[in-house]
Amino acid sequence: MKNQKLKILIIVSAAAFIIYTLIHRLQNPPMAAVESSNKLVMNTIAKIIAVAPDENTAQTSINAAFDEVYRLEKLMNRFDPNSQLSMVSRLAGKEPVKVDKDLFDILHQAIYYSKLTDGAFDITVGPLVDLWKKCAEANSMPTEQQLADIKKIVGYEKIILDSNNLTVRLAADGMKLDLGGIAKGFAADKAQEIMKKSGAIGGLVDLGGQIGCFGKTQSGDKWIIGIRNPSKKESNEIIMKLALTDMSASTSGNYERFYKIAGRQFSHIFNVRTEKSADMISSDTIICPNGTQSDALSTAVNVMGVEKGLALIEKIENTEAVIIPIKDKTELIKSKHAEQFIIK
Ligand code: ADP
Ligand code: MG
- Render 48-68 in DSSP notation, one character per residue: EEEEESSHHHHHHHHHHHHHH
Q: How far is the CA of 5 from the centre of ligand 2 (A)?
A: 70
Partners of residue 46 on adjacent β-strands: 39, 207
Please state, in angstroms and rounded to a whole number, the distance separating the CA atoms of residues 299 and 285.
Answer: 9
Distance 326 CA to ligand 2 centre (A): 18
Q: 124, 269, 275, 297: which to mutate for ligand 1, most atoms within 8 A of CB?
A: 269
Query: Packing angle between helix 144-151 and helix 126-138, nearest 10 degrees?
Result: 160
d(C-alpha 187, C-alpha 70), whole Å: 9
Ligand 1 interacting residues, C-beta cut-off 6 A: 121-123, 125, 129, 178, 180-181, 184, 210, 252, 257, 268-270, 272, 295, 298-299, 302-303
Q: What is the pTM of this model?
A: 0.92
In angstroms, the CA 122 to CA 159 distance is 10
Neighbours of ion ligand 2 (CB under 5 A): 181, 295, 298-299
Q: Whose CA is nearest to atom 16 of ligand 1?
A: 180
* Cα–Cα distance for residue pair 210/187, rounded to 1 Å: 10
Q: Which positions ≥6 away from 61 have C-beta within 8 Å? A: 50, 52, 194, 195, 198, 199, 200, 203
**Tens-level pLDDT at each residue, the chain (344 residues):** 667 887 877 777 777 777 776 676 666 678 899 999 999 999 999 999 999 999 999 999 999 999 999 999 999 999 999 999 999 999 999 999 999 999 999 999 999 999 999 999 999 999 999 999 999 999 999 999 999 999 999 999 999 999 999 999 999 999 999 999 999 999 999 999 999 999 999 999 999 989 999 999 999 999 999 988 877 767 788 989 999 999 999 999 877 788 999 999 999 999 999 999 999 999 999 999 999 999 999 999 999 999 999 999 999 999 999 999 998 877 899 999 999 999 97
What is the structure's pLDDT at 226? 93
4 exposure class (CB count in 10 Å sphere: 0-12, 13-18, 19+): exposed
Residue of the CA atom closest to atom 8 of ligand 1: 252
**Residues with Cβ < 8 Å from 147, sequence gap 6 or more?**
131, 275
Which atom of ligand 1 is the closest one to the Cα of 114?
A: 24
Residues paired with 227 in a beta bridge? 240
Helix (H, G, I), strand (E, B) or coil at 225: strand
- Closest-approaching ligand to the CA atom of 122: 1
